[in-house]
A = this chain, B = another copy of it.
Amino acid sequence: MSNSPESADETQIRQIIHEWRDALCARDLDRLMQYYSPNVVFFDAVPPHVHRGAGAYRRTWENMFAFLPAHLGSEVRDLDITVSGDLAAMHCLQRLINADTHEAATCGWVRVSVTYQRTDGQWRVIHEHVSVPFDPATSQAVFIREP
Contact = CB atoms under 8 A, between A and B. Distances in A.
Given A43-B111, A115-B115, A129-B111, A144 B49 contact: yes
Interface string A84-118: 11111101010000000000000101010101011
Given A82-B87, A87-B89, A134-B45, A141 B144 contact: no
Nearest to A49: B144
Contacts of A84: 84-87, 117-118
Interface string A124-140: 00110101111110011
Copies per complex? 2
A32 interface: no
A79 B143 CA distance: 28
Interface centre among A41, A43, A50, A86 (most CB of B within 10 A): A43
A133 to B, nearest CB: 5
Interface of A: 41, 43-50, 78, 80, 82-89, 91, 93, 107, 109, 111, 113, 115, 117-118, 126-127, 129, 131-136, 139-144, 147
5 contacts: A49-B109, A50-B147, A85-B87, A107-B136, A139-B141
